[in-house]
Amino acid sequence: MQQQPTAVQQRSRARARAFVAIDDRLRGLVQATAVRSTAPLHDPVQPEIANAAALEPTMPQTGGAGVLHLVDRDAVASHAPGSAASWAARYRHRVLVTDLAVISLAATAGSMVAAGRSMPLLQVWQVTGLVLLWMVTLQVFRTRSPRRMAVGADEYKRTVGATAATAGIMAAASLLFLSTGMGPAARSHLLLTFPLGLVGLMLGRWAWRTWLQHLRARGVALSDVVVVGQPLDVAYVIRQIARRSAVAYRVIGVVLDGTDGAGRGDSSVAPAGSSARPDTGIGSAGLPEFHGTAHVPEVVQQLGADAVIVAGPLRDGNRAIRALGWALEPSRTELILVSSLVNVAGPRITMRPMEGLPLMHVEQPRFEGGRHVLKRGLDIVVSALALLVMLPLFAVLAVLITRDSDGGVFFSQIRTGRRGRPFRMYKFRTMVATAEQDRAALVAQNEAAGPLFKLRHDPRITRVGAVLRKHSLDELPQFWNVLRGDMSLVGPRPPLPEEVATYEGDTGRRLYIKPGLTGLWQINGRSNLDWEESVRLDLYYVENWSVTGDLMIMWRTFKVMVNPEGAY
């Protein structure tokens, strides 16, 4: 018996048939209008879709001949739908079932400790009520919201908040109904059930998130999106999505704001030998490219997109965004706006709607106060414990370093700390003893941008040093700098004095807080980052850091040490 195709297969086939129909119709249009070109119809570098009846065609001049780019069928086939809606529903269902199992086990364990091996009927009802209350509180706190699940730390924060709220309700209930004998059970729940349940909830969500990220890294369970905007904005969004494997989106098409290749809004054709738009890298992404925001709904329908991302300001401003939202209503397509406040994190933004005037309040960053005291306390505790626990590892690494090459175990260098104060930073030596003297002969081979100096294959690095650098083990002595107060566990990259001397504009804001043993630069590519991206990440951290964010960065740093990226 022939197996029936699945919904995903049917959707994929329908999409392929739609593109074939468009392609055939356009081929007929080309023949009817006698457009001549020596270029192939399918351009593997920059495939574009042009529908003369509905979409504005792209007709750049190539040696005096017009070229109408059509859909690349191979490119379209590579963007098979990931059934994002069904994946999201299944993911939420699995997390819900896991939450229910964890809470039930934790509540049962707490009641059995309070009552002994057997549980009276009253406590059975208490356990049932506690499980229902906890599950409802998790729902009220929107811990399983599609907008928050598997992205960022907000899901974990809300889970902690829901658990704390449930514990508070339980404590209040035990005081109100003290005569019913709830006291021992309530104490057992507060001391055992809630801590055990919270750990289980966190581990369960982390496990499902890790599983989902592995799927997304293979191109599964992604939301297919169309990016709309000006060429530079669109190119930036595409790069950011491609750079982060944990991102839930897959770009399947581009709509440039305007009707010509430059997105200027006129229908003029660039003269021969000129560039219709700056080299943004969009073409090298191999994505179908359209022009004109008025045709976004049609593009969404043709490509089967789940969402539309507006990458930046549009030519017609807010009116265009409002019209786009209305046009997408019939298809229930999600509309996502990239905020112009690129360096402002969510906790600093508060919405206060007024009559017809939504106001966005942005809290000023603070570089002193209670949060910084808490950060310093965390630095002292973690660095002291790390130095104590890692002493045996330090001894082993010291032996390996001295046996591998001549020179000392440690390498020290003057770096610039908070408010420009210099300090001596310590690392395990990973280069030959004459590395500083040999640098002058290698300056011409520098592969880094800006004031940085980096060589992917630096001849000064020793054999043991290469391993230490790959897994960031050479940075471990900086725990001593953290304990002394020169550095923090998380912060901007510690710069060299000569690097600070070249700072221009707002780059000096990196020195408003202490440099870090790790940071956003460490978990986002390290040496693979260019100078501008490294500065942007540091400035973002300086103004938007939080203790919860620091814990997330430290956890991701451990993962990067196990699976290195950009470390050389």
Residue range 55-84, pLDDT digits in tens: 333 333 333 322 223 333 333 333 344 457
Q: Note whether residue 535 is domain-resident.
A: yes
Q: Do 398 and 310 share a domain, yes or no? A: no
Percent composition of the chain: helix, strand, coil (DSSP 3-state, to 5) = 55, 10, 35
Q: Do 166 and 283 share a domain, yes or no? A: no
Identify which has the larger pLDDT, 46 or 503: 503
What pLDDT score was predicted for residue 94?
A: 94
Q: Note whether residue 465 is domain-resident.
A: yes
- CB distance 287 to 253 below 8 Å: yes
Instruction: Tell which of 291, 323, 338 closes a domain.
Output: 338
Name which of 48-52, 93-97, 167-171, 276-280 the model is least confident about. 48-52
pLDDT at 542 > cutoff 70: yes
* Helix segments in 405-506, DSSP class H: 435-438, 463-470, 478-484, 497-500
What pLDDT score was predicted for residue 530?
A: 79
What pLDDT score was predicted for residue 521?
A: 86
What pLDDT score was predicted for residue 423?
A: 96
Tell me if residue 1 falls in helix, strand or coil: coil
For the chain, state the CA radius of gyration.
29
Instruction: Give 121's pLDDT tier (boundaries 50, 70, 90).
Output: low
Amino acid code (one letter) for 229? G
Give the phi and the psi of residue 121 in degrees, each rounded to 5: -60, -35
Q: Would you give the DSSP letter of residue 409?
A: S
Q: How far is residue 529's CA from residue 345's CA, in Å, rounded to a whole number?
A: 21
Q: How far is residue 159's CA from residue 143's CA, in Å, rounded to a whole number?
A: 6
Give the phi and the psi of residue 224 in degrees, each rounded to 5: -75, 125
What pLDDT score was predicted for residue 284?
A: 55
Where would I find the beta strands (DSSP E) of 384-533? 410-416, 422-428, 488-490, 516-518
Q: Which of 292, 247, 259 is nearest to 84 (CA)?
A: 247
Residue with tokens 């890692």: 390
Instruction: Tell which of 297, 320, 338 closes a domain.
Output: 338
Q: Do 454 and 542 share a domain, yes or no? A: yes
pLDDT at 468 > cutoff 60: yes
Q: How far is residue 417's CA from residue 425's CA, in Å, rounded to a whole number?
A: 10
CA 196 vs. chain centroid, Å, equals 29
Q: How many residues does the chain have?
A: 568
Name which of 343-352, 395-404, 478-487, 547-556 the model is least confident about. 343-352
Q: Do 200 and 105 share a domain, yes or no? A: yes
Q: Do 68 and 89 share a domain, yes or no? A: no
What pLDDT score was predicted for residue 131?
A: 93
- CB distance 317 to 281 below 8 Å: no
Q: Note whether residue 102 is domain-resident.
A: yes
What pLDDT score was predicted for residue 474?
A: 94
Instruction: Give 122's pLDDT tier (boundaries 50, 70, 90).
Output: low
Neighbours of 243 (CB within 10 A): 13
Q: Do 381 and 519 share a domain, yes or no? A: yes
Q: Do 305 and 433 share a domain, yes or no? A: no
- CB distance 216 to 88 below 8 Å: no
Q: Is 504 exposed, middle or buried (0-12, 13-18, 19+ CB in 10 A)?
A: exposed
Instruction: Tell which of 288, 323, 338 closes a domain.
Output: 338
What pLDDT score was predicted for residue 568?
A: 57
Q: How far is residue 435's CA from residue 439's CA, in Å, rounded to a whole number?
A: 6
Q: What is the pLDDT of residues 280-331, one digit of tens each?
A: 556 556 788 898 888 899 999 999 999 999 998 898 888 899 999 999 999 8
- CB distance 526 to 533 below 8 Å: no
CA angle 250, 254, 258 (to 5 degrees): 155
Q: Do 512 and 550 share a domain, yes or no? A: yes
pLDDT at 382 > cutoff 90: yes
What pLDDT score was predicted for residue 79?
A: 39
Q: Do 109 and 70 share a domain, yes or no? A: no
Q: What is the pLDDT of residues 266-292, one digit of tens each?
A: 333 232 333 344 445 565 567 888 988
Residue with tokens 């490294």: 534
Q: Give the tokens for residue 429.
A: 């030596």
Q: Give the tokens for residue 175.
A: 């005081």
Q: Note whether residue 353 is domain-resident.
A: no
Domain membership of residue 312 as a residue range: 7-79+222-338
Q: Note whether residue 113 is domain-resident.
A: yes
Task: Tell me the pTM.
Answer: 0.66
Q: Do 458 and 546 share a domain, yes or no? A: yes
pLDDT (average), residues 104-117:
80
Q: Would you give the DSSP letter of residue 516?
A: E
Q: Give the tokens for residue 287.
A: 């994505």
Q: Give the tokens for residue 15.
A: 């999409």
Q: Which of 491, 557, 547, 475 is nearest to 524 (CA)?
A: 557
Q: Do 32 and 102 share a domain, yes or no? A: no
Write the Ramachandran bin of 222: left for phi over 0, alpha for psi from -120 to 50, otherwise beta: beta
Q: Give the tokens for residue 414.
A: 């003057």
Q: Note whether residue 357 is domain-resident.
A: no
Q: What is the pLDDT of residues 182-228, one digit of tens each?
A: 556 667 778 888 999 999 999 999 999 988 888 887 878 888 999 99
What pLDDT score was predicted for residue 387?
A: 96
The helix or strand, by DSSP H or E, that contains position 250, with its residue range, turns out to be strand 249-256
Q: How far is residue 131's CA from residue 127's CA, in Å, rounded to a whole number?
A: 6
Total of domains in the chain: 3
What pLDDT score was predicted for residue 83?
A: 58
Q: Note whether residue 359 is domain-resident.
A: no
Q: Note whether residue 520 is domain-resident.
A: yes
Q: What is the pLDDT of residues 403-462, one digit of tens each?
A: 999 989 999 999 999 999 999 999 999 999 888 888 878 877 777 766 777 788 888 999
Q: Do 35 and 128 share a domain, yes or no? A: no
